Amino acid sequence: MARTGRKNPARRVLIWLVAIFAALTAVLGGGVIAGQASWAPKLALDLEGGTQMILAPKVEGTSEINEDQLNQAVAIIRQRVDGSGVAEAEISTQSGRNVVVSLPGTPSKETRALIQASADMNFRPVIAATDGAPVPPESRTKDANLPKPTAKPKDASDINWVTADVYKAFEALDCVNPAQDKQERSDPTKPLVTCEPATDVSPAIKYILGPVEVKGQDITSSSFGPVQGAQGSVTNDWAVNITFNESATKTFRAVTERLNQFYLASQSQGGNDPKAQFAIVLDDQVISAPRSLAVITDGRPQITGNFTEESAKALADQLRYGALPISFDIQSEEQISATLGGEQLRLGLLAGVIGLLLVVVYSLFQYRALGFVTIASLVVAGGLTYLAIAILGWTENYRLSLAGVAGLIVAIGQTADSFIVYFERIRDELREGKGLVSAVENGWKRAKRTVLASKAVNLLAALVLYFVAVGNVRGFAFTLGLTALADLLVVFMFTHPTLQLLARTKFFGEGHRFSGLDPERLGAVPLYRGAGRLRTPTEKPAVVRPRNTGAVAEAERRMTIAERRLAEKQGELSGTSNGSGTSAGSKEGK
């Protein structure tokens, strides 16, 4: 009765473990079938090869950027990169001049644009606008007909800014297939010919813009939210709100007073005069060109029209970063050689395999057949860790770095320690003369505490490192924490139940000499010593109790050194060699 009573819970726990495995595999398999996940864990820069970008801050004029500004730039880029879901991006400064961004894999166009778009932002009035395709060379305006400014421009919207050169550039400009080579940053005091790139909802547009009237760093804040209706009700339209500082408020008021005139004048044609628009220019590209429907006197313009929540947020973010008076160009961008990455991965795995083999050999040597339980437990822990990493790679974009691999290899030892602590406790119980079944139960009760306490230290270390550290250290801490959790799961749900079941087998239960739990070898004092001698009362091993009554009684039951020596001596006298005695006395219930 008692046997089936204890056997079933062990089986049940093992079935639960299989269920967890099946569930994790199903989750990952589902992801793979859906085409979002992959069976192989994602790899980081140093294993996969990857991209490193060096961003050169560009400052208008000659003013040097100071350390504070550079640090601010790094913080902003870090925030942007982290926000884009790229793991293990390393962002550092180089020689106080450049910002280095390392990204695993090849960054998507969006990520690249996000990093690069760090903001040379300003506001220019629109002088002319048309759709983005270039005018075919044969139908371009003849030289004789090109505009010839008759006077000095009197304000930023003045048509006199458009010289023959500007107009030629405007006609030739191709915004549908924009040229990749970046030009020098434009002169804020001169007109600019540029594009608004095509988006999902609008085609590409090209513009002639007047000189800069308001600078991006004059923005004190920007936000987005739903447009308030007439009675303060919330509508479905989204708006972006800008707040200017004091001086820009005055300037912007003057600008909108002028632009609003164009709007009012053209209202008979639907208010479509491009001169009524002011363009928000980021890195010399127009990101938005709203019309000035009203004069803004309080320095708090609101931009509306055709925004989704997403696009409103994107513009508000761009405007906020526009306040930073630094802009970046990707000066060099290089692939970390995939050869080296592959080599590191190969050798890292080789180190892992060698390490694992050494552990296997040592376990078998030390624990005989019990060593197989260690190996099986390590395999189960490894399987759980692999599934977790693959799933996290899919859901959290977690990438395994070389430091992470090292963390996994180091974890082999720390995981195996849980089993060692447990096995040694079982052996201690056997030395007390207990039968294997009760030794497993009692040993587990005491090992459990130790394992929990020590793993808590490991988890604490992993957590602290993960939340405090930067870059590579995080990847390492993550795998360390993950394996500590997997270890706990395995020790509770695999190793212990397995031993409970094994304790009932003949091989282990009778303490076969290769089982690693041979009471004889462990020096347990058998009831019957052969050669017709029964044990003497002083050698009496502890009474097998159904429950562990704790360390208090335990310590008292232990034999003294002298008792042990006496027993040894008697054993020698009786001529029983170490390997030949039966171990009948240690079997429970026989």
Quick one: 471 exposed, middle or buried, by C-beta within 10 A (0-12, 13-18, 19+)?
middle
In the complex, minimum distance from the CB of residue 180 to other proteins, in angstroms, rounded to a whole number: 18
In the complex, minimum distance from the CB of residue 354 to other proteins, in angstroms, rounded to a whole number: 4
Q: 10 Å Cβ neighbour count for 279?
A: 26
In the complex, minimum distance from the CB of residue 169 to other proteins, in angstroms, rounded to a whole number: 29
Q: Which stretch binds other proteins (CB under 8 A): 131-139, 242-250, 352-360, 495-503?
A: 352-360
Nearer CB in complex with other proteins: 23/354: 354
Tell the residue number behind the tokens 């009471």, with chain if given. 519
| Residue 215 touching other proteins (CB under 8 A) | no
Q: Which stretch binds other proteins (CB under 8 A): 241-249, 271-279, 332-340, 436-444?
A: 332-340
Strands 234-244 and 302-304: antiparallel
- Mention every residue, 6+ apart, whose C-beta is less than 8 A from residue 418: 451, 455, 487, 488, 491, 495
Q: Which stretch binds other proteins (CB under 8 A): 138-146, 195-203, 235-243, 451-459?
A: 451-459
Q: Single out the residue of 19, 234, 460, 531 in contact with other proteins (rule: CB under 8 A).
A: 460
Distance CA 40, CA 209 (A): 51
| Number of residues forming the site for other proteins (CB under 8 A) | 94
Q: Single out the residue of 143, 562, 580, 590 in contact with other proteins (rule: CB under 8 A).
A: 562
| Residue 464 touching other proteins (CB under 8 A) | yes
- Is 430 strand, coil or helix? helix
Nearer CB in complex with other proteins: 162/412: 412
| Region class of 103: left (phi > 0), else alpha (psi between -120 and 50), else beta | beta
Q: Which stretch binds other proteins (CB under 8 A): 237-245, 250-258, 379-387, 445-453?
A: 445-453
Q: Single out the residue of 461, 489, 527, 544 in contact with other proteins (rule: CB under 8 A).
A: 461
Site for other proteins in 6-65 (CB under 8 A): 46, 52, 54
Distance CA 32, CA 427 (A): 45
Give which of 499, 528, 377 is closest to 439, Cα–Cα. 499
Nearer CB in complex with other proteins: 281/411: 411
Nearer CB in complex with other proteins: 2/453: 453
In the complex, minimum distance from the CB of residue 502 to other proteins, in angstroms, rounded to a whole number: 19
Site for other proteins in 67-106 (CB under 8 A): 90, 92-96, 98, 100
| Residue 330 touching other proteins (CB under 8 A) | no
Q: Single out the residue of 63, 152, 201, 365 in contact with other proteins (rule: CB under 8 A).
A: 365
| Residue 412 touching other proteins (CB under 8 A) | yes
Q: HEC string of 122-190?
A: EEEEEEEEEECCCCCHHHCCCHHHCCCCCCCCCCCCCHHHCCHHHHHHHHHCCCCCCCCCCCCCCCCCC
Distance CA 125, CA 98 (A): 32
Per the CB < 8 A criterion, the answer to whether 565 and 556 are in contact is no
Buried/exposed code over 144-155 (b: 16+ C-beta within 10 A; e: otherwise): eebeeeeeebee
In the complex, minimum distance from the CB of residue 46 to other proteins, in angstroms, rounded to a whole number: 7
| Residue 335 touching other proteins (CB under 8 A) | yes
| Residue 209 touching other proteins (CB under 8 A) | no
Q: Single out the residue of 19, 75, 172, 340 in contact with other proteins (rule: CB under 8 A).
A: 340
| Residue 570 touching other proteins (CB under 8 A) | no
Strands 219-228 and 234-244: antiparallel
Quick one: 28 exposed, middle or buried, by C-beta within 10 A (0-12, 13-18, 19+)?
buried
Q: Which contacts of 410-413 are long-range, i.e. CB under 8 A and separated by 24 or more positions?
A: 410/480, 411/385, 411/479, 411/480, 411/483, 411/484, 411/487, 412/352, 412/355, 412/356, 412/359, 412/378, 413/359
| Residue 375 touching other proteins (CB under 8 A) | no
- Phi, psi of 294, rounded to the nearest 5 degrees: -150, 165
Q: Single out the residue of 77, 279, 389, 406 in contact with other proteins (rule: CB under 8 A).
A: 406
Distance CA 267, CA 310 (A): 31
Q: Single out the residue of 358, 379, 531, 534 in contact with other proteins (rule: CB under 8 A).
A: 358
Nearer CB in complex with other proteins: 297/366: 366
| Residue 584 touching other proteins (CB under 8 A) | no
Mark 517-536 with x for binding to other proteins (rule: CB under 8 A) and - for no binding.
Answer: ----xxx-------------
Give which of 473, 477, 482, 399 is closest to 40, Cα–Cα. 399
Mark 282-311 with x for binding to other proteins (rule: CB under 8 A) and - for no binding.
Answer: ------------------------------
| Residue 540 touching other proteins (CB under 8 A) | no
